[in-house]
Structure 1
């Protein structure tokens, strides 16, 4: 019985087998996988169900909340503004957002926001999830907050705050919200089925998020990790609500599928240009691979090597992502996007049953490993 729909090049039979095994074992509920090499989709498959009751199949146009894979689209938007000269990665954030300079943040640079080193990984209490639904209020809170560690000295994953901080820069220099910028400058021109939040007309085709099991270990009370995940606390089930879908959360509520995410991020894999349109120049691509932090992340508690806007390969953390001119990130529960510039390769995975962990899962690992084995 065929467990997935779509097409793949025969060289990637093992990739499809890995994808279908995730579905056959029941580990995955519904998912999509795309492998793009220099604009050619050598794998574009999907399968399973978009609801926990298994009454609705995952279709070609199914979209899903991709959690922190959203951050990669936000990063791409900021890099485009850097490439255009509207932002300078090494300039103080306060050059564009004067109120941000308050309480010792005058030296925080744009690159610190992009690399999770600004010291603003969460909001001070009291704060609740719905505070994220109003970017104007939450960015004002950030402007008045003191960093939780010396900016630029270490990374601390900006789990829920990344898009609000960077989205305010987009608004300050373009006059558009981050959602509008992504729609008009990226998703529209690239014909990518991706949006921040989701228009109500698209709700019937959104896959239901199935929350992960409870974490086996909780962060130390009062520490930076605990303060981050409480500032505000995000429930996985919130992704299935109307208020979440109406909001603009540039860290967490992008809705798309493997095909649309691959289309957008192939801008990086393909050297900055797609179909004759240039989005990023060589100097901006080089900026991605400048190490901004390399050590144990203060929030995630594992070694992470951050470039500008994306993580860079680090064998001791994710052994299945090879060394080289590669950047990547993933979403809570297992979604993943990998941009491999040396091979002009983009690998994108999106799913709705969340696995434990923040970066990828055993399921996405199986698919990514099969891709690199096939290419070898």
Structure 2
């Protein structure tokens, strides 16, 4: 469909959800969108699947239905889902110590850390000892360093969003119990059965479809990194100093905290499966009771970095800053605006992906889309 002569919006939208289409158009017209996609499912069926704009820095390559893009911390939602799938299969107990699966982790005050505390960001290791540029792109070196790291405070006591380390902390136990890397597990057990694009560690043939990530320099996270001594800045010292989320190492490594490459349609379909209790199109991924428990809120309030959050077992739960369509929606947001959630009560899957980081910390682009969705289903 074409909404304007100067802004091309492609895809499909059920007429009942025209408000979402209109909000998506306004993101391009008045909120600085460059390239993006939005998708919504209800009862597993697509009702919105839209994309528009451009996928490169020169505004020459149009966004396509198979364009994929880095979704930053929405990666953590996929990482948490993978762990809960292992829980559903009896491979991991969330209240067991991490050392049951990763013995080397039991050093320097981390001996009693549970999988639960890894999931809900209370592990106490948002910063890795011995951080150096490029460490994140070497799985063995990174997890070895985390095993030796002394926590900043007693594990289980202090909420702190683990921006960079989260995927390694959970990914290593998953690797030990499944015999697959996180990237392999997500491809084989989530993406391929659902028929979607969702990967950690791009293959060469996939890189041609990746949108260039833009405008990192204008995002508040760059200001935190430039400050140098805060927890966030220290946690990001494992990446190249000039990492712009487009380097070959960023795209090809498995960094399941932040470098999932996917698109809105794929995320919405994954969330549709979660919203349906773990089964979609006759394919069972995990038990409904495991998903129900995954939504149990573990803490709500300001974390050690003064961020107001509500965390369940691996998911951001709705707050004023984390909008959704219902109070039990399991979701995650990525730096710059990418957002995905599964609402089990309204059986909605929602996803928004983009390549230009929104400099406004209030993330008006996804919020406008979710507000529009709520005007229809609310």
When normalised by structure 1's length, the TM-score is 0.93
The aligned counterpart of 2:343 is: 340
Cα distance between partner residues in 2 of 1:351 and 1:302: 23
Cα distance between partner residues in 1 of 2:327 and 2:77: 19
The aligned counterpart of 1:40 is: 45
Cα distance between partner residues in 1 of 2:115 and 2:312: 13
User: How far is 1:259 from its partner?
Assistant: 0.6
Cα distance between partner residues in 2 of 1:11 and 1:364: 19
Unaligned runs of 5+ in 1: none
Number of matched pairs: 370
The aligned counterpart of 2:289 is: 283
The aligned counterpart of 2:91 is: 86
When normalised by structure 2's length, the TM-score is 0.93
Q: 1:371 aligns with which of 363, 370, 373?
A: 373
Where in structure 2 are the equivalents of 1:1-376 lying within 5 Å?
2=3, 3-25=8-30, 27-128=32-133, 130-212=134-216, 213-215=218-220, 218=224, 222-232=229-239, 237=244, 239-299=245-305, 301-315=306-320, 317-318=321-322, 320-321=323-324, 323-356=326-359, 361-376=363-378
Tell me: CA distance 1:110–1:60, structure 2 relative to 1, closer, same or farther (3 Å).
same
SS at match of 2:300: strand
User: How far is 1:232 from its partner?
Assistant: 4.9
User: How far is 1:342 from its partner?
Assistant: 0.3
Any conservation in 1 of the 2:126–2:163 contact (CA below 8 Å)?
yes
SS at match of 2:193: coil
Q: Deviations over 1:219-240 (max 9, x none)?
A: 8764434433445577551x21
Cα distance between partner residues in 2 of 1:343 and 1:234: 43
SS at match of 1:311: coil
Cα distance between partner residues in 1 of 2:219 and 2:264: 26
Tell me: CA distance 1:177–1:286, structure 2 relative to 1, closer, same or farther (3 Å).
same
Tell me: CA distance 1:38–1:258, structure 2 relative to 1, closer, same or farther (3 Å).
same
User: How far is 1:150 from its partner?
Assistant: 1.7
User: How far is 1:286 from its partner?
Assistant: 2.0
Tell me: CA distance 1:357–1:138, structure 2 relative to 1, closer, same or farther (3 Å).
farther
Cα distance between partner residues in 1 of 2:169 and 2:328: 27
Q: Deviations over 1:200-254 (max 9, x none)?
A: 11222211100230539648764434433445577551x2121211111111111
Cα distance between partner residues in 2 of 1:217 and 1:352: 19
Any conservation in 1 of the 2:109–2:154 contact (CA below 8 Å)?
no
Q: Using the TM superposition, name which of 349-358 and 59-68 deviates more.
A: 349-358
Cα distance between partner residues in 2 of 1:223 and 1:240: 24
Any conservation in 1 of the 2:129–2:150 contact (CA below 8 Å)?
no
Unaligned runs of 5+ in 2: none
Any conservation in 1 of the 2:325–2:343 contact (CA below 8 Å)?
no
Any conservation in 1 of the 2:326–2:346 contact (CA below 8 Å)?
no
Any conservation in 2 of the 1:92–1:109 contact (CA below 8 Å)?
yes
User: How far is 1:72 from its partner?
Assistant: 0.8
Any conservation in 2 of the 1:117–1:153 contact (CA below 8 Å)?
yes
User: How far is 1:281 from its partner?
Assistant: 1.4
Please report the RMSD computed on the Cα atoms of aligned residues, expressed in angstroms.
Answer: 1.9
SS at match of 1:44: strand
